[in-house]
Amino acid sequence: MPIQYAGGTNVNTTFSNSGSATRREIVDGVVTALTSAGWSTISGSGTGDVLMESATTSQGLKMRVRVLDPGSGTCAQLKVRNASNVLAMSNALFLRPENSKTWRVIANRYQAFIFVPATSTVARDFCGFGVPYIPDQFASKIYDCIWAWGDSNSDTDSSVRACFRKVLAANGNFSTASLFFVVNGGSWENRNGANQANSAQGLPSLVFPQASAGQNVGSTTGYRWHNDEALMLEPLLAFGATSALDEAKVRGQLWDAVISTESYAKDATVTFDGLNWWNLTDANVGISRNTSRGSLFVVAP
């Protein structure tokens, strides 16, 4: 499959916490960015508790996200749900305000990434969510599909967990972050670092053609062409449908995104296909017999 472009408006914008560093500032900044990207406000406009809805994909998928200042605690929160409000995240994606911290939002009408540039080792500084593109072969079989993935699992979590800022998959060798998934009327989420065992086959990962040898793969061999160019591949996202113990299957593809099989510093930008792209994944050289080398780039005008 080729790269799937969302169309509409691509947003690449920043906002900053003031010296007061409030949760509300994050809410306002995220809401403004999502609005610019084509998300609509369902309720709470102008407040610290805003429910927003994505555009509807050509395949009929959409989602909602509640962006809120919970009134106490450390972080602003994003709580993902389906459009009918039947399946909702009980945990949240956490974003921690800090004096003069700059946030970046890279979003389109179906998907968003929110993170702090130049850092990848501080928790509660990254999250992503969206509805994917569904391959034609089973587009008629999916009527509800949502993914959400943060870098931490609680309001006070100080550890960066497995997420696209660090790796291209969650597995038992990385403590798991806040996750939420919806597939056709079912949902599950990971909270408080649960389901970290290797038996958690439903944990999310990107799937792509790569070297068929786990030993040394990516870290030293089997990741680029003869002329040292990396492969550029569609970011197919797999996750379990009912729980972290359910077989992960490829549910869809991220919009305006591509995987490079090379490792790059976080926030590196490149130009190809007439567009500017932003690397979300920090220096991911892979781990032998564990996780793949590679970087997730997203369109960032």
Partner 1 sequence: MNSAFTQSFGSPTRREIVDGIVSAMTTAGWSVISGSGTGDVMMESATTPASQSLKMRARIYDPGSGTDARVKIRNSGGTIVQSGDFPLVSAAGRVWRVIANKYQVFVLAPGLFNAPCVFAAWGVPFLRTALEGVVTECVWGWGSSNSTSDASNIRPCPRTFMSMWINFSTPNWFSIINGSSWELNNSNQSSGNIGLPMIFAPWTANMQHSGYKNSGDLNPSSYRYHDDTPLASEPLLAFGAALATEAKIRGQLWDAVVLSEAYGADRTFAFDSKTFYNITHNNYGVTVDTPRASLLVMVP
Question: Where on the chain is the footprint of partner 1 (CB under 8 A)?
Answer: 135, 137-138, 141-142, 167-173, 183, 198-199, 201-203, 205-217, 220-222, 224-229, 231, 236, 238, 240, 247-252, 289-292, 294
Decide if 37 contacts 107 (C-beta within 8 A).
yes
CB of residue 227 vs partner 1: minimum separation in angstroms?
Answer: 5
Give the number of residues written for the chain: 301
Nearer to partner 1, 152 or 210 (CB): 210
CB of residue 188 vs partner 1: minimum separation in angstroms?
Answer: 14
Nearer to partner 1, 38 or 294 (CB): 294
Single-letter amino acid code for the residue at 226: H
Nearer to partner 1, 94 or 181 (CB): 181
Nearer to partner 1, 276 or 290 (CB): 290
C-alpha distances (whole Å) from 69 to each of 49, 64, 204, 239 are 6, 17, 28, 29
Instruction: Classify residue 239 by burial, with Cβ atoms within 10 Å: 0-12, 13-18, 19+.
Output: buried
CB of residue 193 vs partner 1: minimum separation in angstroms?
Answer: 17
Nearer to partner 1, 103 or 164 (CB): 164
CB of residue 177 vs partner 1: minimum separation in angstroms?
Answer: 14
Nearer to partner 1, 122 or 139 (CB): 139
Q: Whose CA is closest to 95, among 74, 113, 65? A: 74
CA distance 185 to 46: 31
- CA 147 from chain centre, in angstroms, equals 8
What SS3 state is found at 36?
helix
Name, in order, each residue with C-beta under 8 angstroms of 290's C-beta and a sequence gap of 6 or more: 171, 173, 214
Name, in order, each residue with C-beta under 8 angstroms of 16's C-beta and a sequence gap of 6 or more: 25, 29, 100, 101, 102, 103
Give Dmax over CA atoms of the chain in angstroms.
55
Nearer to partner 1, 122 or 245 (CB): 245
CA distance 301 to 3: 16
CB of residue 32 vs partner 1: minimum separation in angstroms?
Answer: 33
- CA 1 from chain centre, in angstroms, equals 20
CB of residue 70 vs partner 1: minimum separation in angstroms?
Answer: 32
Question: For tokens 């039947």, what's the residue?
Answer: 86
CB of residue 2 vs partner 1: minimum separation in angstroms?
Answer: 14
Nearer to partner 1, 96 or 251 (CB): 251
CB of residue 11 vs partner 1: minimum separation in angstroms?
Answer: 27
